Structure formats: structure tokens, C-alpha cells
Structure 1
Amino acid sequence: MDRKYIFGHRNPDTDSVTSAVALSYLKNSLSDNTVPKVLGDVNKETKYVFDYFDMEVPEKLDNVKIQIKDLEFDKIEALPEDRSIFSAYNYMNDNRVRTLPVTGGDGVLMGIVTMKDIAMNHIFGEGMVIDTTYDNMLETLGGKAFNRAKDIIKGNITVTAYHTSTIMRDSILNEASIVIVGDRYEIISHAVDMDVELIIVTGGREIPPEYLDKAREKGVNIISTQNNTFKTSKLINLSNKLDSIMKREIVKVYSDSYLEDFKELLSSSGHSKFPVVDNHKRYMGILSRRHVLKPSKKKVILVDHNEFEQSAEGIHEAEVLEIVDHHKIGSMATTYPISFRNEPLGSTNTIIYEMYKEKSIEIPDKVAGLIMSGIISDTLFFKSPTTTEKDRKYAEELAEKLDVDLGEYAYDMFKEGTSLKGMTKDEIFFSDYKEFEHKGIKFGISQVFTMDINEIKTEEEEEIRMLKEKLGELNVDIAMAVFTDIIREGSYIISYSRIPGVLKASFSKDSPGFFLEGVISRKKQIVPRIMDGIENTKL
């Protein structure tokens, strides 16, 4: 079963992270194969929640672009570089393979061999030189081991066509000689005396015991083959190791690289097949042009968002299977029908808790704690106007199950989460930042919760200067920082717009910084006002 990734929006908050984990546990309890992920660093509040319930924060997912490892490339078996050319030819011929990968130790790709390479080497190669192993020689010649003195065979081929006296007089044989001989025992005896590298006896001839004893004593390799001398001479070069003919300078593709980059390589390269390797250069398979025509996409399930702008980079390349969310319907579009559960509740975790109930799946205490925390966080402990009776009821049920004082836990969680100590202005701004679009106008809103809004007011001018910079940096028309005071139940808003009149039409305020009592929900109270302001502004 293909693995599916479950994740919330960028700049993850507590509701998005905990709902991803909770839904993943539910899915896997129903025999699915899912993994929760996050699209960025978690904030202090979320970290507090996971530490409190002794749970691991999900790993970060950089993007969901199609990677080479997602493609169904050919899993062609590779041969080790010390295997024979003969074995490579047989494998390629039997399996109709035209390009064969060659690997070294630990499966590292060393090169490739093609049928053309084998043919060209057989016709034009240096056929007199052998660098191989005893096993390769036995395999290539269909031989029988008469004496195996050493495993590595390196030398030059000598076919004993000359008279024995000529061979001895001209010192034709030496320690590097690989001798091909029939039943000429005087030459075999002389070859043993010369400590040759290997004696190959053709025609399946038996060797008298005295010659074998002498070869064992001297440490000389002897092989017998049923092939005649002519066929043996034709085949022996194929016993050489693959590394003698493989192409070492090859264009390879890393499995973690992206399909879009590979397409560029395809258009600029004259090659049609590319070996695929992992980050350690270990061989994985062969990729060709046909594999990119219908690529396999990453399968994903989205929680707590349904807008492309808020989702993972490369979401257009992924296959969205399901969405569970409590926000307005956004820009997400899919090729095929999907399961889309969207309810007007205060938290995505409220929906997921209901899904547990519907499936009659028992919730472990640790997961129950995450769900409870997500509901508390997104409803601002039931103070947000998005809060419903169902949110409150489910949070209280979970608190009772866990024997937790809901009020004390919520206070400690918010206290930890609203601490801005040690954070840069950028870290504060992007800790919970979301982008929206209406009528072609893009606006980005950062929301930060605090228990002391006065410290924000003293830095208003610096905040405005930063927002001006963000307009260009983020390519938005309106940049806004919302500092929500949980105690006073209101928000201090600092904003900057490149479009005159929109902010005044939205909030009836002239100054760039102002407090709005009772406004604590970005989704339900701020975003709709900006959309109305855009509608009522002459652009």
C-alpha cells in the first residue's frame, strides 16, 4: 500500500499539527498507511503540548514535488564490476536488456555496459590480455577445475601452435602466460616448470596425475574445457571483468532530485536511459523517457487548510486524496472527486474526534491529549467567536478522560505559547502567518497571541517599517500583524497596504495601528472584513 502524507498548513499551529497526528493514528488503526508531517518549525505552544503528552513532533516535509524515487523506473539488476563480460552478455540477452548497470562495493554505481560495448570490445579489443578471476574463467569456458592455486588471473594469452622446441627455444612462456593447449603433455609439463599463470586444456582431455601433482606443488592453475582450441580462443576474452569495458563517465540521476529538473536534463541530453542512484551513489534502477509520461504522484491528505497558498510547496504535483478542515472553502481544486469534510467548528480536531466516535476507535491518552490541546488552542479556550457547543463538549470529555483540569492546562499552555522571549521579529511574524486572495488582491496576516499587548504598542513604528518590507518580500498587496490579547479578548492590529483606502474600508480606522475589542479570530472576524473592504474600494 502506498504511503500517504498527512499535514496541515505552512507555519504550523497547534491545531494543524495535532490534527495531522490524530488523523494519522485513526487512519492507521483502520489499516491505512499514513505518516503525519509538518510544513515548518512548530511554535512554542505546540512544542509544549507535545512535550506535556510525551509525543514526538512529526518530521518536517520540505515539499511534495514529484521526485525521481516516486517514478516507476525499471529495476534492472546490476552486476558487480568483477563479474565476467560473458555473464553480462548472457544476462542481457536472456532478459532483453540493452543497458546494464555495473556496481562496486556496497552497490555503488561504477559504470554501465551496453551490448554495443561488448560487441566492439570483442571485435576491436585487446584480446590477448586477461584480467579476471578463476570463477569467471570456469563460467566462460564451461570449465572444470583441475587445480585452483589462486583466485585472480592476470596475464597474456598464448595458443600453443608452435612446436615444443620452438616454444622452449624462444622462451615464449613465462609467469604471465595463460596457455591454451590440447593433449600436448610435454607443453603442459614445460608450462608448469615456467610457473605460468594458467593452463587451459581444451577438448575435455584428461591430465595424467603426475602433471597435476607437479602443478599442485608449483601452485599453477589448471582448467579443463570441453571446447576445442578455436572456440576457447574465441571465448576467453569474454572472461575479463566488466570493469575492463564499462563506461565510467556516465550521466546519472539522484533519486531525491525532482522530475522538473530531470525534464531539463532530458531536453539537453542525447541520452535515452539514465541510471538512478541514492545519495550514497548506490544503484537503484534505470530511468528512461517513457517513465515521465505518467509519473506517480505523492499521495497526501490535508488537514486544517484547503488553499494552495497555505499548503506544501509542489502541492499542484501531488495527488490530494482527502481534506479535513473547518475553514472557508479556498482555492484547492482536484482532478478527481475526493473526500472533503468541512464543518463550521472551532477546530479541525473537533471534526477528527467525531471521526473517532463514528469509527468506534479507542483513542490512546496521548493522542486524546493532542486533540484536546488543538481544540483549546484554536478556540482560544472557547473565547473565539468560531467556538461551538460541540468544541466545548468534546474538549471537556477529553479532559475528563485524561483527568486534567481544563482551565489550568489551558492557562499553562497559552502562557508558554505567548512568550516572545528570545524570538526575532521575523520569527514572531512568521510563527503563524497565512496568505489569502480576493478579487486578485493578495493579503498576508500574521497572528500572535500575547498576555501583554502593551509591549507591542511601544514598537509600533518598527512594526510598520517591517510590514513595508514584507510587501515586496512576500509579494502581497496588504501585510498585517495581529496581536491578540487573550486576557482582554481583543486584538491590536498593525497593517500596511499598497492599495489606498482598503484598510479604512475594512476597519473604519485611519491609523496603521489600532485595537479592536472582541476581535480575536483571524478566520471569522478579520479576513471577512478585509474581503468586504476590497469589495467596497475602487481599485
Structure 2
Amino acid sequence: MKNNLIFGHKTPDTDSVCSAITLSNLKNKINEPSIPYILDNITKETEFVLNYFNVKTPNILTNVKIQIKDLSYDKVKPFKLNQSVHFAYFFMNENKLRTLPIIDDDGKLAGIITMKDIAMSLINTDQKYLCTSYDNIIETLIGSELLRFDNIIEGNITVASFEEKTLRNSETLNENSIVIVGDRYDVIKYAIELGVKLIIVTGDFSIPLSLLDLAKKNKINLIKTPFHTYYTAKNVSLSKYVNHIMKTSGLMIFTEDDYLEDCKEDIEQSKHSKFPIISRDKKYLGLLSRNHLINPSRKKVILVDHNEMGQSADGIEEAEILEVIDHHKIGDIKTPIPISFRNTPVGSTNTIIYQMYKENNIKIEKPMAGLMLSGIISDTLLLKSPTTTDADKIAVENLSKIVELDLYKYAMDMFKAGTSLESKSIEEVLYQDFKKFNLEYKNIGISQVFTLDINQIMINENDYINLIDNITLAKDYFMIIMAVTDIVNEGSYIFYTSDKEKIVKLIFNIEDVHQGIYIDKCVSRKKQIVPSVINAIKQMN
């Protein structure tokens, strides 16, 4: 069973990251395998939280697009380079395969062969020369070992159909000869004395002990086969290694991490019917055909702390959304079938997840309790935000008993870590908690920056305003608002796209508007700013 992927929005905050981790932990405990991910680097605040409770930071998920590894491609067993063409043919025939992958000793793809390659090798290649293993010849001719001195046999094939005297006069045989012969013992003796590479005795004839002793003395390889001479001569070349006939160039190969959208056109237009799949380190994995592109398996995902396409992972339209757990307004996420959609008007997604632990009767261990507690504290500003509900307060009270810490001191330390702007560029500050909304068919960007020292922003006020104006124009936003929230005084300083002063007046219901204006008791993007923006746009329309 594949793991479901759980992640929050593109600008990971503490509630988003902690809810992905705590929900994943819950899902795994109720036998719904999952892995938490983040969509970007975490904030200093979240880093503080994860370090405090000794929880590993989730890996970054770049997108959820369909990849080759999501397809149910054929796991065709590969062949080794030193296996025989004969064995490959029977394996392909028995398993109804037209294409067979060939790998080296490290499991890396070396090439492929097809039934056509085998047929053409019998027509076009030199059937006289043979280089293969002793074992391959035994396997091909259903032979039995009489004498073995070499594991690798290399030489020119000669069918000894002439008399021994004729062979001597013609000088047909030499030390590089592979001799196919029946019960012509004089010929066998001559071949042994000459020191040929291998003698294949056909018809299952017994070899006199005197000849066996002579062959042993001269270190001559001997094989006996039940087949008659004609069949043996016709088929012995099939004992050659598959790498002698395999294709190594002109192959269309894909890696398991390739995206289907990038490969689909090439596959559909290719003259090939099978396409090898390899891993990052070039290990062979399987074979892909066009049929596998029909109804591909999609990544199964669970969204937390968001339900808008623009805030979710790239390629979300290609994923199968199983579940959404959120506390924001209903967005534009669409699914082809009904799903579990839990959207509750509370201050934090972690409050909902806390309730889910209780509903499933799952014990909350200290690290998970600490993460849930941190997510609620962060999103409700230690229960001071207007988004705070009784459910948040109950969750904080019960989780605090598990974690056993000084709640106010911990919250202040967490906020201090998160609001530090040290070494951050103005662009990093703006984007650290930036969300894009489509409100009344207009793209609105709202950044929220929490601080314990507004002067860190004010000294660069003009730079922030210029950045907001430039992004608005470059990214085709209707407007951008940056709310710098003073956690202690419970209010926000507002910066905005310069030519939107008129709508800012409507949003905050004030006449005297200027950059950096302080709005008392404005601390919630979700419950205060977003609804006010919607109402203001409606008034303008």
C-alpha cells in the first residue's frame, strides 16, 4: 500500500507544518499509512517548535504531478548479459513477451532485445564464430558435461562431416575450432591431438575411455548432446550471449522520477512499443507501454490548513485529493467524487486534529501534544486572536497538561524566534507568510508578518512599499497587503499597493489612510482582513 501524502499550504507556518505532522501520526496509528511533507522551507518559529520537541522536519515536496513511478508499468524480470539467446527466446515465448531488458552485474540497464532481434541475428550475423560460456552451450543443447577446462568458449564452429584424412589435408581444424561431430571417433581423436577448443559429440554417443583419457590429458573441453548433428549445428549459435544481439543505442528510456506530462507526447509518437524505466542511479525497474498511460494512478493526498488551488502543491489538479482538514473559508478545491471535507470555524487546524485524536481514542504523546499546542498558540496568538474559540481554549488546556511547560514563557520564546528578521531580505520577510487569494475574481496577495519590534520594518518602509508595487505589477495582482502584526499590542501596521489607497479606506473603514497605518485589534488575516477585502471589492463593483 502506498503512503498518502499530507501537506499544508505553500508558505508553511507553524499551524500548517504541525498539523501535517500530527495528522500523519494519527493516520499511521489507525492503519492509514501516510507521510507528512512541507511545500517550502519552514519559518524560524516552526524550526524552534520542531527543535524544542525533537521532531524531524518533513521533507520538501516540490509537486504532486503524475510521475512514471506512479504508473502500473510491467515489472518484467531482466536478463543478465551473460545469459544465452536460446534461454531468452524460450523465456520470452513462455511469458508471451516481445521485449526483454538486459542488465549488467550491478542491475543497471545495458540494453534490450526483441523477438525480431533474435530472428534477425539468425539471418544476418556470423553463425560460424561463437563466444559464450560452457554452461550456455550445455543449456542450449540440453547437453551433459564430459570434460570442462574452460568456462568461456570462443572459436569457430566446424561440422566434421568429412573423413579424418580429408580434414587433415584441408587444415580446416585448429586450436580455435569448436568441432561438432557424431560417432566419428577417428575425427574425435584427430581433434583432440590438434588441441581444439571444444568438441561437441552429437547423437548421445558414448565416448571410448581411451579418447576421454586422451582428451583429459590434452585439456580438451567435451560436451555430449542427444541432438543429431544437423540440429546441433543449426542451434548452437543460440548459446551466444544476449549482449551480442541486444540494442544499446536509439532506446527511449525514462526514469521513475520523470513527469508523465513531459513524456506522454514522446511515447505516443514513438515507433517503439516498450520503454525501459530506470531509477535515479540507472538501475532497471521495468517496462512501460502506451496502455499504461490510460487512467494512470494519481498521488493520493490529504490537504491541511488550506483548501485553495493557488495555495496548494504544484500539480494538485493531477492528484487524487482524499481529504481536506481546514479552518479557513471554503476555497476553489474541486474533486470528481465526494471526499471527507472537515472545515470548522476554529482558530487552528491543530484544534480540529486534537478533536480527531479524541474521536479515534488515540493517546496523544508529548511530542505530538507539543506540536498541536504550538500550532494553536501560533494561529491564535496565544488565544488573543478574534478567531479563538472555546474549542481552541479547551484544546490548549488539555494539551498543556500533557506537555507540562510554562505556557506564556514558551509562547513568548516561540514568538521571539519567529519574529526575528535578522539576516532576512525584505523579500524573504514579505513572503515568509504570504497567501494568494482569488477574491471576487481578483488576485489578492496578503502577507502577515508578526513582530515584537515594529522598528525593524519601519526603517525599510520605502523598500517594502516598492517591493509590494513591483510584485503587484509583475505577478498580475489586483493588490497586495502586508499586515505587520504587533503581538504584544494586538494590532497591525498596514502596507499596501500604492495606487489602491481608495480600496484600503473601504477595507479598514477609515478616511485617513497612509502606508504603515496602525489598525488596532486587527490581528487575523482570515477573520478580519480577508472578509473586509471581499466586502470592499463588492462595494467598488
User: In the aligned structure 2, how far is the partner of 1:498 from the partner of 1:83?
Assistant: 74
What residue number does 2:370 align with?
369
* Contact 1:5 1:299 (8 Å CA) reproduced: yes
Q: Residues 426 and 193 of structure 1: is their aligned pair in 2 closer, same or farther, counting only changes over 3 Å?
A: farther
What residue number does 2:188 align with?
188
Q: Does 1:243 align with 2:229?
A: no
What residue number does 2:147 align with?
147
User: In the aligned structure 2, how far is the partner of 1:426 from the partner of 1:211?
Assistant: 89
What residue number does 2:396 align with?
395
Matches within 5 A, 1:110-509: 110-249=110-249, 250-496=251-497, 501-507=502-508, 508=510, 509=512
User: In the aligned structure 2, how far is the partner of 1:240 from the partner of 1:472?
Assistant: 68
Question: Which whole-Å deviations, capped at 9, do the CAs of 1:338-389 have from their partners, x for residues lacking one?
Answer: 0111110000000110111111110111111111111111101011110012
Question: Which whole-Å deviations, capped at 9, do the CAs of 1:484-536 have from their partners, x for residues lacking one?
Answer: 11011111111116667333332345423321111011111111111112111
* Contact 2:421 2:456 (8 Å CA) reproduced: no
Question: Which whole-Å deviations, capped at 9, do the CAs of 1:287-339 have from their partners, x for residues lacking one?
Answer: 11111110000001111111111111100000000111111111111011001
What residue number does 1:37 align with?
37
Offset at 1:234?
Answer: 0.9
Q: Residues 269 and 177 of structure 1: is their aligned pair in 2 closer, same or farther, counting only changes over 3 Å?
A: same
**Counterpart amino acid of residue 539 in structure 2:** N
Question: Which whole-Å deviations, capped at 9, do the CAs of 1:104-134 have from their partners, x for residues lacking one?
Answer: 1221111111111111111222111111111
**Counterpart amino acid of residue 459 in structure 1:** N
What residue number does 1:98 align with?
98
* Contact 1:497 1:503 (8 Å CA) reproduced: no
User: In the aligned structure 1, how far is the partner of 2:69 from the partner of 2:474?
Assistant: 33
- Please state whether the residue corresponding to 2:489 is helix, strand or coil: coil
Offset at 1:242?
Answer: 0.4
User: In the aligned structure 2, how far is the partner of 1:233 from the partner of 1:7?
Assistant: 65
* Contact 1:396 1:406 (8 Å CA) reproduced: no
What residue number does 1:535 align with?
538
User: In the aligned structure 2, how far is the partner of 1:407 from the partner of 1:510?
Assistant: 35
Offset at 1:149?
Answer: 0.9
What residue number does 1:526 align with?
529
- Please state whether the residue corresponding to 1:536 is helix, strand or coil: helix
What residue number does 2:3 align with?
3
User: In the aligned structure 2, how far is the partner of 1:106 from the partner of 1:537?
Assistant: 68
Q: Residues 88 and 497 of structure 1: is their aligned pair in 2 closer, same or farther, counting only changes over 3 Å?
A: farther
**Counterpart amino acid of residue 155 in structure 1:** G
* Contact 1:350 1:394 (8 Å CA) reproduced: yes
- Please state whether the residue corresponding to 1:9 is helix, strand or coil: coil
**Counterpart amino acid of residue 528 in structure 1:** P
Gaps of 5+ in 1: none
User: In the aligned structure 1, how far is the partner of 2:216 from the partner of 2:472?
Assistant: 85
- Please state whether the residue corresponding to 2:59 is helix, strand or coil: coil
Q: Residues 479 and 251 of structure 1: is their aligned pair in 2 closer, same or farther, counting only changes over 3 Å?
A: same
* Contact 1:496 1:512 (8 Å CA) reproduced: no
User: In the aligned structure 2, how far is the partner of 1:290 from the partner of 1:93?
Assistant: 21
- Please state whether the residue corresponding to 1:10 is helix, strand or coil: coil
User: In the aligned structure 1, how far is the partner of 2:528 from the partner of 2:214?
Assistant: 99
Count of aligned residue pairs for this structure pair: 538
* Contact 1:308 1:331 (8 Å CA) reproduced: yes
What residue number does 2:72 align with?
72
Gaps of 5+ in 2: none
- Please state whether the residue corresponding to 2:413 is helix, strand or coil: helix
* Contact 1:477 1:498 (8 Å CA) reproduced: no
* Contact 2:163 2:187 (8 Å CA) reproduced: no
TM-score with structure 2 setting the length: 0.97
- Please state whether the residue corresponding to 2:60 is helix, strand or coil: coil
Q: Residues 459 and 122 of structure 1: is their aligned pair in 2 closer, same or farther, counting only changes over 3 Å?
A: same
* Contact 1:479 1:497 (8 Å CA) reproduced: no
**Counterpart amino acid of residue 335 in structure 1:** P
User: In the aligned structure 2, how far is the partner of 1:473 from the partner of 1:71?
Assistant: 38
Question: Which whole-Å deviations, capped at 9, do the CAs of 1:367-414 have from their partners, x for residues lacking one?
Answer: 111111111111010111100122122112111222111111101111
- Please state whether the residue corresponding to 2:323 is helix, strand or coil: strand
User: In the aligned structure 2, how far is the partner of 1:229 from the partner of 1:497?
Assistant: 94
User: In the aligned structure 1, how far is the partner of 2:176 from the partner of 2:450?
Assistant: 82
Deviates more, 1:187-196 or 1:408-417: 187-196
* Contact 1:346 1:375 (8 Å CA) reproduced: yes
- Please state whether the residue corresponding to 1:105 is helix, strand or coil: coil
User: In the aligned structure 1, how far is the partner of 2:86 from the partner of 2:386?
Assistant: 77
* Contact 1:9 1:39 (8 Å CA) reproduced: yes
**Counterpart amino acid of residue 501 in structure 1:** K
* Contact 2:430 2:447 (8 Å CA) reproduced: yes
* Contact 2:298 2:319 (8 Å CA) reproduced: yes
* Contact 2:444 2:479 (8 Å CA) reproduced: yes
The RMSD of aligned alpha carbons is 1.4
Q: Residues 217 and 498 of structure 1: is their aligned pair in 2 closer, same or farther, counting only changes over 3 Å?
A: farther
Question: Which whole-Å deviations, capped at 9, do the CAs of 1:41-100 have from their partners, x for residues lacking one?
Answer: 000010100100111011111110000000011111111121111011101111111111
**Counterpart amino acid of residue 521 in structure 1:** S
User: In the aligned structure 1, how far is the partner of 2:218 from the partner of 2:531?
Assistant: 95
User: In the aligned structure 1, how far is the partner of 2:208 from the partner of 2:427?
Assistant: 88
Offset at 1:284?
Answer: 1.0
Identity %: 48
User: In the aligned structure 2, how far is the partner of 1:127 from the partner of 1:78?
Assistant: 26
- Please state whether the residue corresponding to 2:69 is helix, strand or coil: helix
Offset at 1:103?
Answer: 1.0
